Structures are given as structure tokens and as C-alpha cells.
């Protein structure tokens, strides 16, 4: 478990003090994938780098597996850090070393005996799917392959925690997905807690269990990814969510709409049911889809639809109540005219 207690990080600059992290409190459970989201400058990197004390917090505590890292002596901290792996947006591989040597480098830092080294490197290469690239140099690898080496290196000393600093931001969407799946596999099979920072909600949607949204060094919202996606509270969170669940309908289309416009959300299993078609059958109304999607967050469906309902106002009201009675959240965006 990771406990971040009242953590602040101030930077002294020529223009005065900058609050990188401002009194953050977070608890991250063992085995969880936790995402920290925010725009550039929100304080994500500062917070992540405080977790393994790459940055020393100005105040507050970082507790990892029951030990306050800020209180550890140099040698104790070095040992504790070996159990915290980290991967980076720009990989930071050593260009003069082969893939195998890059991974072995982390094992040497932990004084792994020579005879164990080769077998451990091979094991890690297999885990990240790079056995055939063992003897090549980083320059000969694609971005996704470089990140796989980064992951193998981070896992070398059997960490309990993996910190990911914008790990997929330099990768194309397909490669991003394959790296995220690898991270999820590592989380599930090795029970490694993962904390990642990103500015992309798709990353969070794909693999995180819980998340926090940061702005100006502070956490403005925190919760399960599903709850936050289905019911974001802070304005900033809503903005982030709209980047993945967008309801933009061209004005030209909206201008033609004469019925009521409603936004309908189905959570969980109910998303698969034919609530909307039942509604159309039960009441004397017509429904036209203007926009819609079913997103799967942690394999649980979240259905979001924007639709026009045509009919007598009373029937529309009854139809909306019917959908609500069947578990939908309905918001009337515009009444018919
Ligand atoms: N070494 C530093 N010296 C001075 N100010 C810093 C330093 N590192 C970060 N900051 C400032 O702290 C604030 C938070 O920066 P941080 O890099 O943590 O944000 P971020 O959300 O990770 O953004 P990005 O994704 O752009 O890295 C910013 O105002 C930044 O300018």
C-alpha cells in the first residue's frame, strides 16, 4: 500500500516559489493500477517523482509498504528504491549497451550474482516478448520495443511497485495499446501495484482501477475510474471525460431536430438491454439516435446515447421516466418544439 500524506513539493525559481505539488493526500491499495491525470504543469511528474524520492518532498510523507521513505537513511533508501521500478516516456536506455546488457545493468545495481544474471535476463526478455532482440542495440528497436526493454529493466529486481511516467505518450495508438496490455498483464500476474501519470484519458480507461485528477498541484477529484467516467464532478474532470466520450453533434443536424433531445446513460449490465427499443414500443414516441457509444471500462459497459424523442410532450415525459425506471440516467438537453 502507498500512503501519500499531506505532500507538498515547492520549487525555488528566479520568479519565486512554485508549488509543484500542493498538500496531496492519496492512498493506493496493493495490486491496484492507479492513474493520475492532468494537463501539463498540473504537478503529475512532481508527485510521481516524490513517490520514489527522485524528488524530495518539501513536506509530507510517502509511505510505501508501511515505511515512510522520507525518513530512511541513504542506504536504506537505495534498497527500498530497488523495489520500486520506473519507466519513462523517453525510455532512457543506454545506447552503447545491448538489450540484454541494459536489463542486466539493473540487476548489477542490486549485486545479483553473475550466474543468476543470465537466467533472470532471459526470463525478463520472455516476459516482455523480446527474446529475439536480446543482442541488438536500442537504436535498432521501435519505440514500443524500447519501452518493453524499459519495462523489463524496471521489473528486474522484482519490485512491488511500478511507476510509469507518461510511458505511452511517445507511442502510436496501436503500440500504446500493446504496452498497456503488457502493463495490465504484469499487474495481474505479478501482483505489482502500478501508478501511472498521463494526460490521455484513453490510457486510464484502458487499464486503471482508480484515478485522481490534478490541477495546480492539487487533487481535484479521486475515485474509481468507472464512477468518474460515469459521473465526473469537477469541471476539469468533465473536460477530460469529454475527450473520450464526446457528444459533439454538428449544429446543422441539431437545427433540424424538432423533438426533445435527451442524453441517456446506462451503467453496467443494463447497457446491453433493449431499454430504448422497449420505450419506443411502450409509448407513442419515436426515437432517433444522434450519437452513441458503449464504452467498456474495466470490462463493465457504460452506454452513452444522445437521442431525439418525438411525440406528445406527455408521452415524452412518460418515456423518460420509463427509461429512468429501468436504471438509465436521463438528462433532457432540449425540449421539443
Ligand atoms: N525542477 C523544477 N524547477 C522549478 N519548477 C518546476 C520544476 N519541476 C516542475 N516545476 C514546476 O512545477 C509545476 C508542476 O510541474 P510538473 O512537471 O510536475 O507537472 P506535470 O503535470 O507533470 O506536467 P508535464 O506533463 O508537462 O510534465 C509546474 O509549474 C512546473 O513548472
**Ligand 1 center to residue 45 CA distance, Å?**
7
Place of cell 516476459: 127
Strand partners, 85: 162
Mutate to test the pocket of ligand 1, among 11, 14, 166 (most ligand atoms within 8 A of CB): 11
Q: What is the DSSP string of 162-188?
A: EEEESTTTTS-HHHHHHHHHHHHHHHH
- Please give the Cα distance from 165 to 86 (Å, whole number): 8
Residues β-bridged to residue 198: 37
- Would the pLDDT of 272 be above 70? no
Provide ipTM, 2 decimals: 0.96
Cell numbers 527500498 correspond to what residue? 80
* Torsion sign across C-alpha atoms 120, 122, 123, 124: positive
State which of 18, 22, 90 you would mutate to test the pocket of ligand 1, scoring each by most atoms of that ligand within 8 A of its C-beta: 18
- The per-residue DSSP string of 183-229 comes to HHHHHHHH--EEEEEES-HHHHHHH-SEEEEEETTEEEEEEEHHHHH
Please check the confidence at residue 270 and state whether its pLDDT lies above 80.
no
- CA–CA distance, 42 with 72 (Å, rounded to integer): 28
The alpha carbon of 48 and the centre of ligand 1 are apart by a number of angstroms equal to 11
- The CA 20 to ligand 1 mean position distance, Å, reads 6
**Stretch among 31-35, 75-79, 268-272 having the lowest mean pLDDT:** 268-272
Per-residue model confidence (pLDDT) at position 33: 98
Residue 13 pLDDT exceeds 80:
yes
pLDDT per residue over 297-332, tens digit each?
888 889 888 899 999 999 999 999 999 998 899 999
Single pTM value for the model: 0.90
Q: Give the least confident one: 119-133, 166-180, 219-233, 263-277.
A: 263-277
- Ligand 1 pocket, CB under 6 A: 11, 13, 18, 20, 38, 40-46
Could you tell me what percentage of the chain is helix, strand and coil, using 3-state DSSP and rounding each to the nearest 5? 40, 30, 30
Cα–ligand 1 centroid distance for 19 (angstroms): 9
Task: Please tell me the residue having the least CA distance from ligand 1 atom 7.
Answer: 11
- The per-residue pLDDT for 252 is 83
Model confidence pLDDT, tens digit, residues 162-219: 999 999 999 999 999 999 999 999 999 999 999 999 999 999 999 999 999 999 999 9
- The full set of domains in the chain, from first to last, is 2-242 (3.40.50.300), 251-334 (3.30.70.260)
Task: Tell me whether residue 248 is exposed, middle or buried, using C-beta atoms within 10 angstroms of its C-beta: 0 to 12, 13 to 18, 19 or more.
Answer: exposed
Q: What is the pLDDT of residue 243?
A: 82
- Nearest-angstrom CA–CA distance, 35 and 5: 18
Average pLDDT (58-82) is 93
- Residue 17 confidence class, pLDDT cut points 50, 70, 90: very high
Rounded-to-integer distance, Cα 226 and Cα 301, Å: 9
Average pLDDT, the chain: 92
Interval between CA 217 and ligand 1 midpoint (Å): 9
From 15, 44, 166, the mutation candidate for ligand 1 (largest count of ligand atoms within 8 A of CB) is: 44
- Ligand 1: centre distance to CA 21 (Å): 9
Nearest CA to ligand 1 atom 2: 11
| Percent of the chain residues topping a pLDDT of 90 | 75
Residue pair 229/295 in contact (Cβ under 8 Å)? The answer is: yes
State how far the Cα of 87 lies from the Cα of 168, in Å rounded to an integer. 10
- Which atom of ligand 1 is least distant from the CA of 197? 22
Which pLDDT score is estimated for 255?
Answer: 82
Residue 315 CA to residue 309 CA, distance in Å, equals: 10
Distance CA 23, CA 44 (A): 13
Ligand 1 centroid – CA 11 distance (Å): 9
List, as one string, the DSSP characters of 289-319.
EEEEEEEEETTEEEEEEEEEEEE-HHHHHHH
In the numeric block, which cell numbers belong to residue 321? Answer: 421516466
Residue 275 has a pLDDT of 86
Q: What are phi and psi of 332, to 5 degrees?
A: -85, 115
Q: If you average pLDDT over each of 215-229, 254-268, 289-303, which comes out highest?
A: 215-229
Q: What is the mean pLDDT of residues 5-12?
A: 96
**Closest protein CA for atom 29 of ligand 1:** 41
Contact at 8 Å (CB) between 105 and 180? no
Amino acid at each position: 500500500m502507498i500512503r501519500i500524506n499531506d505532500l507538498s513539493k515547492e520549487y525555488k525559481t528566479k520568479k519565486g516559489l512554485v508549488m509543484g505539488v500542493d498538500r496531496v493526500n492519496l492512498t493506493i491499495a496493493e495490486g491496484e493500477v492507479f492513474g493520475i491525470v492532468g494537463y501539463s504543469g498540473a504537478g503529475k511528474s512532481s508527485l510521481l517523482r516524490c513517490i520514489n524520492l527522485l524528488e524530495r518532498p518539501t513536506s509530507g510523507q510517502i509511505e510505501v509498504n508501511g515505511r515512510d521513505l522520507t525518513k530512511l537513511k541513504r542506504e536504506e533508501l537505495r534498497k527500498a528504491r530497488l523495489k520500486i521500478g520506473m519507466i519513462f516516456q523517453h525510455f532512457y536506455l543506454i545506447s552503447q549497451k545491448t538489450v540484454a546488457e541494459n536489463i542486466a545493468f539493473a540487476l548489477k545495481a542490486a549485486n545479483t550474482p553473475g550466474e543468476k544474471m543470465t537466467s533472470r535476463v532471459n526470463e525478463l526478455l520472455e516476459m516482455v516478448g523480446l527474446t529475439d532482440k536480446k543482442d541488438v542495440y536500442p537504436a535498432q528497436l521501435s519505440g514500443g520495443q524500447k519501452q518493453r526493454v524499459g519495462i523489463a529493466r524496471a521489473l528486474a529486481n522484482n519490485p512491488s511497485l511500478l511507476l510509469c511516467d507518461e510511458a505511452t505518450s511517445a507511442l502510436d495508438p496501436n503500440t500504446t495499446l500493446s504496452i498497456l496490455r503488457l502493463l495490465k498483464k504484469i499487474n495481474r500476474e505479478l501482483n505489482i501495484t502500478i501508478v501511472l501519470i498521463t494526460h490521455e484519458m484513453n490510457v486510464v480507461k484502458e487499464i486503471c482501477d482508480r484515478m485522481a485528477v490534478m490541477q495546480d498541484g492539487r487533487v481535484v477529484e479521486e475515485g474509481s475510474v468507472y464512477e468518474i467516467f460515469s459521473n465526473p464532478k469537477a469541471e476539469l474532470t468533465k473536460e477530460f471525460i469529454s475527450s473520450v466520450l464526446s457528444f459533439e453533434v454538428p449544429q446543422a443536424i441539431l437545427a433540424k431536430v424538432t423533438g426533445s433531445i435527451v442524453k441517456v446513460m446506462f451503467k453496467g449490465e443494463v447497457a446491453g438491454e433493449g431499454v430504448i427499443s422497449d420505450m419506443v414500443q411502450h409509448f407513442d414516441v419515436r426515437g432517433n439516435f444522434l450519437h452513441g457509444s458503449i464504452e467498456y471500462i474495466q470490462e463493465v459497459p457504460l452506454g452513452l446515447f444522445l437521442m431525439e424523442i418525438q411525440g406528445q410532450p406527455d408521452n415524452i415525459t412518460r418515456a423518460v421516466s420509463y427509461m429512468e425506471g429501468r436504471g438509465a440516467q436521463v438528462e433532457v438537453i432540449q425540449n421539443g418544439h
